[in-house]
Chain A
Amino acid sequence: MKLRIEKSPAPVWFRPLIPLLAILFTILITSVLVILVGANPFHAFYYFLIDPLSSRVSFIEVLVKSTPLLLTGAAVTFAFVGGFWNIGAEGQMLMGATAATAIGIHMHAAPPWVAIPLMLAGGFAAGMAWVLIPALMRVKLHIDEVVTTLLLNAVALLIVSAILNGPWRDPVSQWPQSPEIAASAIFPKLIPRTRLHLGFLIALAVILIVWFILTRTPFGLKMKAVGLGPQAARFAGINVDRTLLISALVSGGIAGLAGVNEVAGIHYHLIDAIAGGQGYTGIIVATLGGLNAWGVTLAAFFIGLIDTGSQTVSRALGVPIYLGDVIQATLLLTTLAFLLFQRYRIRIR
């Protein structure tokens, strides 16, 4: 048997079905594992995909879960469109969270309308600062940013850990976690008795802005030109270095906002697990979302849903929590592969 991939766009009516097919396929192949641990696959997938949407509380939790992914997804999208392969959203997010904490713990005297914008600005700046070195290395020395940004994630984590084990170690519990930020710096809740907070609106606003820049402004077109053909872009009079630098910095900044979001909306203090892989998930969100703002929005909700669902499954059916992780990873890979059908057809001969 031989697989051949041919370029041939899928008919328009078929495209929305592709993610559904991916889900079906995933259910099919992971059912084996579900049965292996003695659970009913139908129940399992009910909890995975439907249950989180079936109650108001858990639906809101899906939104909460999606919030940082909207931001990291937007961050990665912005960079990738501009031709900057930012794998470092994780580290930029950590730096954003660190800056937000540094500001937040000193805001006891400040009203929220001072504290919150300050934290957002600080987080954005810190994310930008963390991507600055890889961006400059790319622009000035032509050094591939995939690796530099990836490596700086580890460095960011070590810096956070050093701060948390050093000056910011919680004075009471002695655990590596920072003091809590001031009450005025905490994002207000959008709905009482839920965790949905201001960060969700901020994330939607960021998505909207990213969409607008990418599709409606000359700078967006310049970014695409630089991303798709830097040489030709330069020939056309576009300042490639500047465009690349701005894409990278804005991307880092948005990732930084994701960090602010976690500190001010969820934890209220800094811990080293605050990014928890969500920067990497942002890459997945951006790619699944096809590097456009609406796709990213959908992908973030989707990942938020299966993330929530995976814990629900384990609890409801008493199966190891890792079953959810397995299904989630399988779904990711399957979707990734199935998305190809939008543009290609696979011929088996």
Chain B
Amino acid sequence: MTESISPPAVEMRGIVKRFGPVIANNHVDFTLEQGEIHALLGENGAGKTTLMRILYGLYHPDAGEIRIKGQPVVIHSPKDAIAHGIGMVTQHFALAAPLTVAENVVLGYTDGFRLDLPAASQKVLDAARRFGIEVDPNARVKDLSVGQRQRVEILKALYRQADVLILDEPTAVLTPQEVEQLFEGLRRMQSQGLSVVFISHKLHEVMAITDRVTVLRQGEVIGTVRTQETTPAELARMMVGRPTFGVSKPDTSPRDDVLLRLEKVAALDSRGLPAVKDVTLHVRAGEILGLAGVSGNGQRELAQVLEGVRRCTGGYIVANGHDITNAGPRKVMAAGVGRIPEDRHESVVLDLTVAQNMALEHLDAYTRGGVLDKKRMRAHAEQLIEAYQIKARPDDPIRTLSGGNMQKVILARVLERNPSVIIVAQPTRGLDVGATEYVHQKLVEQRERGAAILLISEDLDEILTLSDRVAVMYEGEIMGIVPPDVDLETLGLLMSGVRIANEPENTEAA
């Protein structure tokens, strides 16, 4: 092998990290060769992020050794990591929003006391060109889209001359197009000699871009394999410890009654610009209507309008026979609408307990003579925890739950009331294979029960496997509604704003 001549870019040996009783990393060995793209795979909480945060100096290992290019090093802080040529793009972007792109990029990496912004901008621009990244150095980060922000993050690492780049779930928030752009960038960097650690839950991405895969389970390394010599099924088995099967949707057809009706709905985004324009959609009982689209095309705002937390500036919405246009969350819920929002932190109060969060939407049901019935809240929470296999106790602050368990809490809170309409956005973002499967299963069960489900997702696989029909949104408008077995090319065209010949509502009539 050619790479054995030069020492590995990074070698981590016997890394141990404990958080109280939890062993996040248990004697982990991990080797990143120079110039390779190496995937870290594992279920939620397997210890991937922890391992990389240790490498980047954000955590200190309890035991273990790190070698960079063969040299043993001690990394106290990100500053040390940067000095060793390591860059990391974290799951939650680390950017100061009111500052400009250039300021964010040079932050912490300026020479001298004086800050020469024009020169810095120029250098940032140069670095961007070299790696084929498009950004305006003088734009303020707060005005950028998620994809653009990620590019700034990557640029930050490259600007610091990183030759090892860690990407923690970089694709979780990207559209398929952006993912493709990212991959192109990664290949270009690889060709320039960069080594990349790539964390993702999406096996097809791992298969597409990486050279090797290391799988973690419960803090321990299960194995490292060459991507070319493995299959998604094998990787999944390594991760979960058992074979996984995709969720299949039973072949029942939707009923005729429309439970959710949107007529010419319009809304503005947070900056006051039109984000949703005359959206008309009908969702029938026992149907999952998928809403696909590149992120930032108004799906988020549309979901918020339906959830009752954003003003509707035109048109009307009828759910279950109730007009819920601008009715507010309470009336929306009272109309039998269940809501699972895009951002989990948007719908649970992190510092309240599991039981409290489970009761929060229907406090009236837990009030006796003006007094809160804590016993009932607890009993209710215990029952849901049991029913939904949530790994938590009723009195745990919900902050301490993993993403998957938090999602289960939200799911339980919504589904236990048997809503006739369900608005669900990005339900499996950041969840591992097992948890994703669980959520999909639950949604399909709801469809069987006869709920009308509007599924908003940027994960096309998810949309195509679960939906009965797929609506595509572009710049706030519905471009068309197609069956889930549509060819990807048509879908791509719709998502990029090319309207297909037949009128959307024609498909509706069929």
Instruction: Using CB atoms and an 8 Å cutoff, list the residues of chain A in contact with chain B.
Output: 8, 215-218, 220-222, 224-225, 228-229, 231-238
Other than the known A232-B349, A237-B328, what 13 A-B pairs have Cβ atoms closer than 8 Å? A8-B20, A215-B372, A217-B367, A221-B352, A221-B356, A221-B359, A225-B352, A229-B352, A234-B309, A235-B307, A235-B309, A235-B329, A238-B360
Which residues of B lie under 8 Å from residue A237 when comparing CB positions?
308, 328-330, 332-333, 361
Among B83-91, B340-348, B449-457, which stretch is in contact with chain A?
A: B340-348
- Whether the Cβ atoms of A217 and B307 lie closer than 8 Å is no
Q: Give the residue of B20, B348, B366, B367 whose beta carbon is less than 8 angstroms from that of A232.
A: B348
B360 A236 Cβ-Cβ under 8 A:
yes
Which single residue of chain B is at the shortest CB-CB distance from A218?
Answer: B363
Residues of B within 8 A of A (CB): 20, 307-309, 328-330, 332-333, 339, 341, 345-352, 356, 359-361, 363-364, 366-367, 370-372
B363 in contact with A229 (CB, 8 Å): no
28 residue pairs A–B, Cβ–Cβ below 8 Å: A215-B372, A216-B371, A217-B367, A218-B366, A220-B372, A221-B359, A221-B363, A221-B372, A224-B349, A224-B352, A224-B356, A225-B352, A225-B356, A228-B350, A229-B348, A229-B352, A231-B345, A232-B346, A232-B349, A232-B360, A235-B309, A235-B339, A236-B329, A236-B349, A236-B360, A237-B329, A237-B332, A237-B333
Q: What chain B residues lie within 8 Å of A224 (beta carbons)?
A: 349, 352, 356
**Most chain B CB within a 10 A radius of its CB, from A215, A220, A235:** A235
**A236 partner residues in chain B, CB cutoff 8 A:** 329, 347, 349, 360-361
Residue of B308, B309, B349, B361 with highest tally of chain A CB at under 10 A: B349
Residue of A nearest to B364 (CB): A218
Chain B residues closer than 8 Å to A220, beta-carbon distance: 372
Partner of A228 from B332, B352, B359 at Cβ < 8 Å: B352
What's the Cα separation between A46 and B418 when bound, in Å? Answer: 66
CB-nearest residue of chain A to B348 = A232
Shortest CB distance B416–A (Å): 15
Q: A218-B363, A222-B363, A237-B330 are in contact. Are A231 and B346 (CB under 8 A)?
A: yes
B372 touches A218 (CB 8 A): yes
Q: Which residues of B sit under 8 angstroms from A216, Cβ to Cβ?
A: 371-372
> Within the complex, what minimum Cβ distance (angstroms) separates B342 from chain A?
11
B350 near A234 with CB under 8 A, answer no
**How far, in whole Å, are A220 and B333 apart by their CA atoms in the complex?**
22
| B309: A residues at CB distance < 8 A | 234-235
Q: Which residues of B contact A221 (CB under 8 A)?
A: 352, 356, 359-360, 363, 372
Please give the distance in Å from B361's CB to the nearest CB on chain A: 5
Contacts of B351 in A (CB 8 A): 228-229
Q: Is the CB of A233 within 8 A of B349?
A: yes
Interface centre among B367, B371, B372 (most CB of A within 10 A): B372
Question: Judging by beta carbons under 8 Å apart, are A235 and B366 in contact?
Answer: no
Question: Nearest chain A CB to B296's CB is how many angstroms away?
Answer: 20
Query: In the assembled complex, which residues on chain A have CB atoms less than 8 Å from the CB atom of B332?
Result: 237
Contact of A225 among B20, B360, B371 (CB under 8 A): B360
In the docked arrangement, what's the CA distance between A41 and B333, Å? 65
Contact indicator B367/A229 (Cβ below 8 Å): no
Residue of A with least CB distance to B19: A7
- Residues of B with C-beta under 8 A to A218: 363-364, 366-367, 370, 372
Which residue of chain B is the closest to A215 with respect to CB atoms?
B372
- C-alpha gap A215/B333 in the complex (Å): 26
> Are A217's CB and B372's CB within 8 A?
yes
